[in-house]
Structure 1
Amino acid sequence: MKKVVVLVMSLVLTISLAACGEKGSTLDEAVKKGYITVGFANEKPYAYKEADGTLTGEAVEIARVILERLGVKEMRGELTEFGSLVAGLQAERFDLITAGMFVNPNRCSAVLFANPEYSIGEALAVKEGNPHQLASYEDVANNGDAKVAVMTGAVEIEYLEKSGIPADRIIQVPDQASAISALQADRVQAITMTGPSLQAMLDSANDEKIERVADFKQPSVDGESVRGYGATAFRQADTEFQEKYNAELQKMKESGELLEILQKFGFTEDELPGDMTADTLCGE
């Protein structure tokens, strides 16, 4: 009898220890803790901190609404260079990437994307009067004296390379502010980033000696438009989290709430993602 009792108690203890050590899903853990940590790159208008420390941006505010509806009360930001966001997510330094990150097949192999929340094109800024007459990436490629600054890890690097610009004339910088500084100091003759992001930086810099190229020709790669679609990114294992996130995002699209948030950050109806999905963008 004693042996039976001991055996039963041992079994109960083993089950209890296993239950205690078992970690719930990322969403479940966030609901229990009352907060979730998100990675961002301080890139306007997607995700950045205000002077008072408030985390905001289109990607942040969309995620904030969805996460609250999924039971997560608070978002905590983890500032990371854009090029290190994917590695940081994989290393569990944070649980989501809310940085307006473009969905593309290369990134799809490393992270799990939600469906896109916006669609957008590229933009170029130069010194006042556009002294080098740069209206496209090809123009930069064809001008041997022209260098262009771009944020490390940004999708524009691939576009610049495939437009024929050699690596030694693509100057990678850690953030958008550094790109502006490089242009102001004549270390480069142009800077590039997405349209709303560039406009936000120009508005912030308030420098009359820098201007956005009004007639910029959108790049294409291998004959295909490079119009980008940005989305929140999860770890590969968080499929249930992604599905619940997508369901709430779809409701926001249908109600018009998504557009209302986007408009607060300089986007228009033309930048809505339509019916595009992460699966399509990932080539699945």
Structure 2
Amino acid sequence: MRLFYSETKNVRRICFMLLTAAMATFLFTGCGNPGSQSSSPGASAGETTLEKVRREGSVTIGFANEKPYAYQTAQGELTGEAVEVARAVLKNLGIDEMKGVLTEFGSLIPGLQAQRFDMVTAGMFITPERAGDVSFANPEYSIGQAIAVKKGNPLDLHSYEDIAGHETALVAVPGGAIEYDYLTAVGVAKDRIVTVPDMPSALAALQAGRVDVITATGPSLQSTLDTANNPDFERVTDFEQPVIDGKSVRGYGATAFRKEDGDFVEAFNKELKNLQDSGELLKILQEFGFTEEELPGDMTLEELIK
């Protein structure tokens, strides 16, 4: 009995010591600098994402390989409207290197929140719903929607309403893109919307006869068609812009940041305005098929999400 009691006592002592150590570890790690929880990977304790990327001179961006907004060339170069606008802004902030993380459009916001990258430069439209998940910079461009069909427009489609009114028309749209919401809002049945990873996949679906029409923003659709250079497809030139809840769906695109990166957004907006005031923003946009009509004007984030 004595031996049993002694072993039990030792076991209890050991368990108590282990429990004490575990509690100490928990308290030590759990009571650190609260601000460090909002820092991005590689940041020092209490350091914001902006401070980190300025110190490193490098930033990691998320993009979805969609022309003309953000894509990789055959030579592996990262470029596009959103990329080059961000590159010019970041250079003025002392950040010269950009590293890209390719992901599907629908994974951009989750990837940003999961800290896979520091910001998203993918020509993403500002919407109140997205603004609930991320912090947008002010808009850098404004554009409308467009559709493409097989040559001759066999189903005579000229609007989203025409797609909704047709009994069998199937439409392809990249997963997570705002066009999905517009299509359902005008009455297109969800089972007639085919989601695809990107615009090249949408065009492949049209070519294979899996869909009858594809849709995207005007510059993105035009860039896809120009790259394919296939006379079997055509853009519907008299397309009627959707009107949702009495408002035009003309969209405004911007760079997205994590919610906690307010200082980054503020610094980005300041340099973006300088680009616009100097005329440099228009020059960058024009390189990717945009015109003066696609400039954002005086539109601000607050006006778009109110």
TM-score normalised by the shorter chain: which range applies? Answer: over 0.9
Q: 1:95 aligns with which of 115, 118, 130?
A: 118
Partner of 2:285: 262
**Shift, 1:21, TM fit:** 5.6
Partner of 2:188: 165
Deviation per residue, 1:207-263 (Å, 9 max, x gap): 101000010000011111100000000100111111111000001111100000000
Runs of 4 or more consecutive aligned structure 1 residues displaced over 6 Å after TM superposition: 17-20
Report if the CA contact (8 A) 1:37-1:76 is conserved. yes
Partner of 1:194: 217
1:80 aligns with 2:103: yes
Report if the CA contact (8 A) 1:31-1:73 is conserved. no
Point out the more displaced range, 54-63 or 26-35: 26-35
**Shift, 1:23, TM fit:** 3.7
User: TM-score w.r.t. structure 1 length?
Assistant: 0.92
SS at 2:122 equivalent: strand
Partner of 2:62: 39
Partner of 1:252: 275
SS at 2:108 equivalent: helix
The residue type paired with residue 84 of structure 2 is E
SS at 1:157 equivalent: helix
Deviation per residue, 1:115-173 (Å, 9 max, x gap): 00000000000000001000000111111120000000000000000111000100000
Distance 2:164 2:127 in 1: 24
Partner of 2:207: 184
Deviation per residue, 1:80-101 (Å, 9 max, x gap): 1000100000000000000000
Q: 1:205 aligns with which of 207, 210, 228?
A: 228
Q: 1:121 aligns with which of 127, 144, 148?
A: 144
Q: Percent identity?
A: 59
Distance 2:202 2:238 in 1: 21
What aligned pairs does 1:15-164 form with structure 2 within 5 A after superposition?
A: 22-164=45-187
**Shift, 1:71, TM fit:** 1.1
SS at 1:102 equivalent: coil
* Matched length: 267
Partner of 1:14: none
Give the number of the structure whose alpha-carbon radius of gyration is greater.
2
Distance 1:163 1:21 in 2: 49
Consecutive unaligned residues in structure 2, runs of 5 or more: 1-31, 37-42
Is the alpha carbon distance of 1:21 and 1:128 closer, same or farther for their aligned partners in structure 2, counting shifts above 3 Å?
A: closer
Report if the CA contact (8 A) 2:172-2:194 is conserved. yes
RMSD (Å) for aligned C-alpha atoms: 1.3
Deviation per residue, 1:64-92 (Å, 9 max, x gap): 01111111120000001000100000000
Partner of 1:280: 303
SS at 1:132 equivalent: coil
**Shift, 1:34, TM fit:** 2.0
User: TM-score w.r.t. structure 2 length?
Assistant: 0.86
